[in-house]
Chains A and B, each alone.
Chain A
Amino acid sequence: MPSLLPLEELPGRGLLVEVVGGGHDGELLVVVSERRGAGCRRASEVIGECEISDEIRETLALVERQAAGPLPTVPARPRTPRARRRDSPTQAQSTPSRIAARSLLESLLDESQLASWHDHGRFEVPVADGTVELGALYDLRYRRSDGAQFSLCVVPRSHTTLPLDDIWTNLLLVLRSDPHEFFRVANYRRFGSTDALRRGPVPARCFDVPAGAGA
């Protein structure tokens, strides 16, 4: 039976997990508890854009029963440094999909991004008027040069079928080559705000990538 690797607590949304093993290996799911209030679906139902098999449904049912208590706590920050996690491979990290995705992502990072990725599990991408930090799914931090900060929610189409590192590769390449599109489709809110996400475009002042910061 496949297992679920907890990745990150998503405030107000549930627990991001990765399926390990089976036919859905590498896919991402958001697990929510029944107790999370109206509007939340049961974990054993289809979540996001992913259709799940009976096998996965059984696993989710187990998680759901565990979630009858408090949701598992997975500290979002500070994360265990990626390098250490890689040195102590879990089942998920030893799977070919994760290895391939990790390898591709790291080949696209510059030296400082790679160091940050290894140390903190996130890295910054420069844009014309600030930086966007990749590493926390559904909560990308956009630090505008005037000091304003925003939490962005933008993902590749059908992202739940991608290994997590491929999601970063996807976001990285589009952000570097077409920041206008990235900011246009992103949902956002002021960082630290509990307001509902607003639909893009994000109030970025301009969308040109600085010279020398191309993909």
Chain B
Amino acid sequence: MGVMRILDSSGDAKVVWDVRDDEALTRAAKIFDGLAAEGEIAYERNGPQTVASRVNAFNPDADEIIWVRPLQGG
């Protein structure tokens, strides 16, 4: 079971998928591609307290994908 956490005003919106569920996988992959196209930045983390690495493609086997926003000068 994987989860995408998309930072937003709710703290983070979650998209969950199961590798055995084709429909959920397709949906998650589509959301991933859409966010990437908007310039959002994805990090993959496999297990708590492990290193989060930047990724550019959807990995169905990922435990967790965290989406953050691009930065700008304040």
Residues of B within 8 A of A108 (CB): 52
Which residues of B approach A to under 8 Å, CB–CB? Answer: 5, 7-12, 39, 41, 43, 48-49, 51-54, 66, 68-74
Contact residues in A for B5 (Cβ distance below 8 Å): 104
Contact check, B41 vs A174: say whether CB atoms are below 8 A apart: yes
For the complex of A and B, the 9 pairs showing the least CB-CB separation, nearest first, are A100-B11, A153-B74, A156-B69, A187-B73, A97-B11, A170-B68, A155-B74, A101-B11, A157-B69
In the assembled complex, which residues on chain A have CB atoms less than 8 Å from the CB atom of B8? 161-162, 166
User: What is the chain B residue whose CB lies nearest that of A50?
Assistant: B9
Q: Contacts A185-B72, A186-B73, A187-B74; is A26 near B10 (CB within 8 Å)?
A: yes
Taking a contact as CB atoms under 8 Å apart, the answer to whether B71 and A182 are in contact is: yes
The count of chain A contact residues (Cβ–Cβ below 8 Å) is 43
A-B contact pairs, 26 of them (CB 8 A): A24-B9, A101-B7, A101-B11, A104-B5, A104-B11, A154-B72, A154-B73, A155-B72, A155-B74, A157-B69, A157-B72, A158-B69, A161-B8, A162-B69, A163-B9, A163-B11, A166-B12, A169-B7, A170-B7, A170-B69, A173-B52, A185-B73, A186-B71, A214-B53, A215-B51, A215-B54
Kindly state whether residue A200 has any CB partner on chain B within 8 Å.
Answer: yes
Taken together as a complex, chains A and B put the C-alpha atoms of A200 and B74 apart, in Å, by 11
